[in-house]
Amino acid sequence: MELLQLQYFQTVARLEHMTQAADELNVTQPALSRTISRLEEDLGVHLFDRKGRQIRLNSFGKVFLSHLERAFAELEEAERKIRDLAGLDQGIVSIGITNASILPALLSSFLARHPEVHFRQYLQSPLILRRQLENGEVDFCISNTPIEGTDIEWKKLVTEELLLLVPREDRFIHRSEIYLREVANENFINMHTSYDIRDITDKCLEAGFTPNITLEGNDPLVIGEMVSLGLGVSFVSELTWRRVSDLLQNRLHVLRIIEPNCQRTIGVARLKGRYLSKAAQAFYHFMTNYF
């Protein structure tokens, strides 16, 4: 039985709706369902009565929830006392990133618990991030590609899918999936970081063509606006789309890419043996247990 399972259960029990709980927790519904199922397997009983898409907390679930809420209340009280003693909330955490798609949800959840922790973030290429990590300029790096070195420890956080954005008036509007080769003649709009360009180019080459990248930007919302105006198509990460879809979905259509495999793994790198402040340690632990 893991703390993350208990936190997920508490949210599902409060909302009694798996989709809403997944949205609130910023996780996918299948991942949330698997976590709840593992908790029920650990306990040996079902905690919810399921009927179609509806779920209701059953008698086992109600008993478990009442004890869990008391336990969480005690843990929160202990956490507050420890923070007071350790001065955790006065810390500064420095993070290097190659892509910001994963960061908003992480920071939002962490800062809700530790509002006085301050963050510095640096958007750089993996090569520069590795140098910053080795020089002690950042506590750790979040990257779409492993940052390697004899003194560097790399840990996978999550695997996300790359999706394709097209205008709502596009010929693909009635489809949910696409082969990447079908947009070989389209203009591409891309994030301007060097790694993203290389990653996208590699995917297109795998599909048999070289992308014609006509526009670059550094803001997913601006790129979405460009796509909606018919200036081109664009890749978007699953996590980024989840963050901006409410603002853009009426003007854009998103397609899952059937071929080639357009997934990427996001992970975190830290320097082995390097001392981390209490705030940095807390965020690292939170981050590696978030997904």
Architecture in CATH of 89-158+265-288: 3-Layer(aba) Sandwich (3.40)
CATH entry 3.30.70.100 includes domain 3-86:
no
Beta bridge partners of residue 122, listed in sequence order = 96
Q: Judging by DSSP bridges, how do beta strands 263-271 and 187-191 pair with one another? A: unpaired
Cα 75 → chain centroid: 26
Per-residue pLDDT of the chain (291 residues; tens, 9 = 90+): 788 889 889 888 888 888 888 888 888 888 888 998 999 998 999 999 887 767 889 999 899 998 988 888 788 667 656 765 566 556 788 899 987 777 888 899 999 988 888 898 988 888 888 888 887 788 899 988 888 888 899 999 988 888 999 998 778 888 999 999 999 999 998 876 545 656 778 888 899 998 998 888 778 888 888 998 889 999 888 888 887 777 777 888 999 999 998 888 889 999 888 878 888 889 999 999 888
Residue 53 exposed, middle or buried by CB count within 10 Å (0-12, 13-18, 19+): exposed
| Nearest CA among 141, 126, 128, 125 for reference residue 93 | 141
Same fold, 89-158+265-288 and 161-263: yes
On average, the pLDDT of the chain sits at 85
Q: What is the pTM of this model?
A: 0.59
Which numeric CATH code is attached to 161-263?
3.40.190.10
pLDDT tens column, 112-163? 988 888 898 988 888 888 888 887 788 899 988 888 888 899 999 988 888 9
Query: Domain residues of the chain, as ranges?
Result: 3-86, 89-158+265-288, 161-263
